[in-house]
């Protein structure tokens, strides 16, 4: 989505939020009404409690210590009324002072007066029981209710049709001011228990009734109220101006015409407040959108992009945190501007506080999750750096231990924040606990298997029969260990990935083929994890001890030249059938890569096959006729040795008369070959046989007939079987 489109959407959304219609609440459409005064009204100064009201006002003039609520309805009601009148007088004094004081900062005297006004106002607000109001707007709604209640009492106490008898005893549990919806009751009510306490408070029902009563007394045909305690425009001055109880000094110093324009009512707010709220919302929404979009983009897989290295996963985690972390303080700051500075009230305040509280708590919970994730990944690298290691496999192993704990702590913290959000939005704690019981019940139903896997996972993490990167066999599954979690273990097999529950893994027979190559100097290289390759090969018949030793030596020499084979062990023994079995255990370094592992195994098997074929063909036999002269027969070993020595890669170890048949004398000779390429060796053997035939012919040494002369012997007519045994054809080595 292009940025102009994003800004346009945010602009329209801000406009919609600002111009949502204000519908009346239940408290405004139901409940008790204030009765209109008819006939003779009894003014405030004529009420029987007026002297007590004056005494209370004088007491608050002398000291601001104490509480508004008391142990009788009269004490609480008159204290509230007198304190709010005192607050209004101080606000008026400071507002007048702002026009005469120079500069845009309050003087020390004005600051002290504002502080006293706020102290008195907070004392009055405490007498309103707002325990049933959602915590997100509780403070603001109580403050608005206190300001409106003061004006309601101005009307009621100055326009009653009869003298008001306000009880000055604590005999009644609750009391209602006649002909009004104003109730006082002992103690505060919370969401899970009834009223409790000895002091009288204005009840939550009173707070709900205040908007309706306030709209009644503000009708245009009402008589003006004139007495020393009256504050006819207290709430209007509060709700239509920025700031809190006292507007900012710069605003009070504006010309009256500009202030009248700014304070032009639009619903319950002024034109200035609506414009400022619109600006704040228009800035806030695009920023949150951009941050959220960038955060979600980190999870997208871009075509052609390389897989992120495990050493860069911590950078990605911190990057995601950087996108989400600004949202909680930004939401809190936006809420502060709308509430404390712009001073939204009523509907606007409730909706903005609801949206911003949800944004704050959700983003804060996500921030905590990402923070623990990033800390876990960085901690793994710090530990590895302390150990002077650069192994990616060891990093995976440390991540496997640290990350589950970090994620668990992050999840617990986030769940706690979500419960705090539910309570802040007005859900009773008992309901929140009921929500907690639902996952508890689900855990209880599946606890047996889950807990079994969990404890098995802890046991595996403690005993460590295998580690990440190991090549092992679990029951019938063979593969590399890629993940060890609290619930399951993941193997990367040749055909795919296999997930094994920890309880199954813990009770299974585990065969690990991995060994760890230790380094005596330099950093520890845990990438050098050896995966054992085990082979049991049956050797062809006719091989002597020397041949077997040569095979073993050549296999070891081959392994020494291979970078991916760190160790190899070879030995031979006799089986029950009298055959020779060659056992080979090779330690390969594959780093969890099936392709490399199979390639190393394949190359090793192929090389052993060639070595066996080469060693077998170092033993040859030549037959001469019985009619050959004795002096020539004695020269045959020397003749063969001379021919062999012509090839610098060959040497004769022995040549002897092996057998005497009816028509021939059979000589067997064995060669030591330095050839490493089987093709070159077979070509050399073929050339050797041709030279022997030619030399024998020139020296009059007869070859018995019929016989077969094979100039080249193919040792691969029958393949070597590596599935438990090794067999070869018996190549003809006779001349």
pLDDT digits (tens, 9 = 90+) for 100-116: 888 888 999 999 999 99
Is the model's pLDDT at 725 over the cut of 50? Answer: no
How many domains, in total, are found in the chain?
Answer: 5
Residue 721 in domain: no
Report how far residue 523's alpha carbon sits from residue 385's, in angstroms, rounded to the nearest whole number: 10
Paired residues of 532 in beta bridges: 587
**Are the CB atoms for 342 and 280 separated by under 8 Å?**
yes
Is the model's pLDDT at 16 over the cut of 60? Answer: no
Provide the pLDDT for residue 709: 40
Provide the pLDDT for residue 432: 67
What is the length of the chain?
735
Confidence of residue 445 (pLDDT cuts 50, 70, 90): low
Same domain, 584 and 466: no
Same domain, 161 and 116: yes
**Domain final residue pick, 406, 424, 445:** 445
Residue 82 in domain: yes
Block residue for tokens 């303080």: 329
**Domain final residue pick, 610, 633, 654:** 610
Using CA atoms, how far residue 656 sits from 176, 633, 641, 659, in Å, is 131, 11, 11, 9
Residue 707 in domain: no
Confidence of residue 360 (pLDDT cuts 50, 70, 90): very high
Block residue for tokens 């949800």: 358
pLDDT digits (tens, 9 = 90+) for 394-443: 777 788 778 888 888 898 888 888 888 888 887 777 776 666 666 666 55
Same domain, 495 and 552: no
Provide the pLDDT for residue 193: 44
Residue 85 in domain: yes
Report how far residue 188's alpha carbon sits from residue 200's, in angstroms, rounded to the nearest whole number: 8
Is the model's pLDDT at 706 over the cut of 80? Answer: no
Is the model's pLDDT at 720 over the cut of 70? Answer: no
Residue 340 in domain: yes
What average pLDDT does the chain have?
Answer: 80
Model confidence, pTM: 0.64
pLDDT digits (tens, 9 = 90+) for 667-679: 989 888 888 888 8
Paired residues of 160 in beta bridges: 42
Residue 734 in domain: no
Provide the pLDDT for residue 478: 82
The torsion defined by the Cα of 90, 96, 102 and 108, in degrees rounded to 10, comes to: -10
Report how far residue 474's alpha carbon sits from residue 490's, in angstroms, rounded to the nearest whole number: 11
Provide the pLDDT for residue 441: 62
Q: Read out DSSP for 507-529? A: HS-EEE-EEE---SSSSB-TT-E
Confidence of residue 724 (pLDDT cuts 50, 70, 90): very low
Same domain, 65 and 192: yes
Same domain, 550 and 677: no
Residue 524 in domain: no
Provide the pLDDT for residue 389: 77
Same domain, 37 and 178: yes
Average pLDDT over residues 355-360: 93
Residue 625 in domain: yes
Is the model's pLDDT at 252 over the cut of 60? Answer: yes
Same domain, 605 and 622: no
Helix (H, G, I), strand (E, B) or coil at 721: coil
Is the model's pLDDT at 728 over the cut of 60? Answer: no
Provide the pLDDT for residue 99: 85
Same domain, 428 and 281: yes
pLDDT digits (tens, 9 = 90+) for 578-637: 788 888 888 777 766 777 778 888 888 888 888 888 888 888 888 888 888 888 888 888
Is the model's pLDDT at 465 over the cut of 90? Answer: no
CATH number, domain of 579, equals: 3.30.70.100
Question: How many other C-beta atoms are found inside a 10 Å radius of the C-beta of residue 169?
Answer: 9
Average pLDDT over residues 45-70: 87
Question: How many other C-beta atoms are found inside a 10 Å radius of the C-beta of residue 413?
Answer: 17
pLDDT digits (tens, 9 = 90+) for 293-325: 999 998 887 766 666 677 788 888 999 999 999
Same domain, 74 and 151: yes
Same domain, 244 and 286: no
Same domain, 280 and 391: yes
> Out of 41-45, 264-268, 434-438, 535-539, which region has the weakest mean confidence (pLDDT)?
434-438
* Rg from Cα positions in the chain: 48
**Domain final residue pick, 564, 579, 610:** 610
Same domain, 48 and 183: yes
Which residue range forms the structural domain that includes residue 487? 456-512
């Amino acid at each position: 989505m292009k940025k102009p489109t994003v800004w346009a959407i945010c602009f329209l959304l801000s406009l919609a939020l600002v111009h949502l219609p204000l519908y009346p609440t239940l408290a405004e459409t139901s409940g008790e009404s204030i009765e209109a005064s008819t006939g003779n009204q009894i003014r405030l100064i004529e009420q029987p409690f007026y002297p007590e009201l004056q005494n209370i006002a004088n007491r608050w003039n002398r000291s601001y210590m104490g509480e508004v609520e008391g142990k009788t309805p009269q004490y609480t009601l008159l204290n509230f009324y007198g304190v709010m009148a005192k607050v209004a007088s101080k606000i008026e004094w400071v507002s007048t002072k702002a026009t005469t004081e120079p500069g845009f900062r309050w003087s020390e005297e004005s600051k002290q007066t504002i502080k006293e006004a706020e102290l008195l106002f907070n004392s009055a607000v405490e007498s309103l029981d707002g325990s049933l109001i959602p915590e997100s707007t509780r403070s603001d709604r109580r403050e608005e209710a206190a300001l409106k209640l003061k004006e309601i009492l101005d009307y009621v106490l100055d326009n009653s049709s009869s003298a008001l008898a306000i009880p000055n005893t604590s005999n009644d549990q609750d009391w209602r001011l006649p002909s009004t919806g104003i109730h006082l009751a002992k103690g505060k009510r919370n969401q899970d228990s009834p009223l409790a306490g000895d002091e009288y408070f204005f009840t939550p029902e009173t707070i709900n009734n205040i908007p309706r009563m306030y709209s009644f007394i503000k009708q245009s045909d009402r008589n003006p109220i004139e007495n020393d305690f009256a504050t006819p425009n207290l709430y209007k001055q509060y709700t239509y101006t920025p700031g809190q109880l006292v507007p900012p000094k710069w605003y009070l110093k504006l010309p009256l015409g500009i202030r009248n324009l700014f304070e032009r009512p639009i619903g319950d707010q002024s034109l200035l407040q609506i414009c400022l709220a619109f600006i704040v919302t228009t800035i806030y929404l695009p920023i949150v959108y951009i941050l959220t979009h960038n955060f979600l983009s980190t999870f997208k897989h871009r075509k052609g992009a390389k897989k992120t290295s495990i050493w860069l996963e911590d950078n990605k985690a911190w990057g995601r945190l950087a996108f989400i972390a600004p949202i909680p303080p930004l939401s809190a700051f936006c809420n502060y501007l709308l509430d404390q500075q712009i001073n939204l009230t009523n509907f606007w305040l409730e909706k903005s506080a609801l949206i911003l509280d949800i944004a704050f708590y959700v983003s804060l919970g996500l921030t905590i999750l990402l923070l623990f994730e990033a800390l876990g990944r960085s901690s793994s690298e710090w530990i590895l750096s302390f150990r002077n290691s650069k192994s990616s496999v060891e990093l995976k192993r440390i991540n496997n231990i640290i990350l589950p704990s970090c994620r668990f702590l992050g999840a617990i913290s986030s769940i706690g924040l979500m419960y705090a959000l539910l309570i802040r939005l007005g859900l009773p704690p008992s309901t929140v606990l009921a929500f907690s019981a639902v996952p508890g019940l689900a855990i209880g139903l599946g606890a047996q298997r889950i807990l079994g896997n969990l404890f098995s996972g802890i046991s595996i993490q403690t005993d460590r029969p295998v580690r990440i990167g190991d090549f092992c066999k679990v029951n019938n599954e063979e593969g590399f260990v890629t993940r060890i979690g609290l619930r399951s273990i993941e193997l990367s097999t040749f055909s795919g990935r296999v997930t094994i529950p920890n309880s199954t893994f813990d009770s299974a027979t585990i065969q690990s083929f991995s060994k760890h190559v230790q380094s005596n100097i330099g950093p520890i290289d845990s990438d050098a994890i050896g995966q054992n390759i085990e082979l049991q090969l049956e050797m062809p018949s006719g091989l002597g001890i020397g041949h077997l030793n040569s095979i073993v030596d050549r296999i070891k020499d081959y392994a020494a030249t291979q970078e991916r084979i760190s160790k190899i062990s070879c030995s031979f023994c006799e089986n029950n059938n009298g055959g020779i079995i060659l056992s080979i255990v090779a330690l390969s370094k594959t780093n969890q890569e099936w392709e490399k592992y199979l390639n190393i195994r394949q190359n090793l098997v192929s090389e052993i096959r060639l070595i066996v074929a080469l060693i077998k063909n170092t033993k040859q036999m030549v037959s001469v006729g019985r009619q050959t002269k004795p002096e020539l027969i004695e020269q045959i070993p020397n003749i063969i040795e001379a021919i062999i020595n012509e090839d610098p890669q060959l040497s004769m170890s022995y040549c002897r008369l092996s057998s005497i048949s009816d028509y021939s004398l059979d000589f067997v000779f064995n060669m030591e070959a330095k050839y490493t390429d089987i093709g070159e060796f077979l070509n050399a053997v073929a050339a050797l046989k041709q030279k022997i035939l030619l030399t024998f012919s020139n020296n009059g040494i007869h070859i018995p007939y019929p016989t077969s002369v094979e100039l080249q012997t193919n040792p691969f007519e029958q393949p070597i079987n590596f599935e438990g045994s090794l067999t070869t054809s018996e190549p003809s080595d006779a001349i």
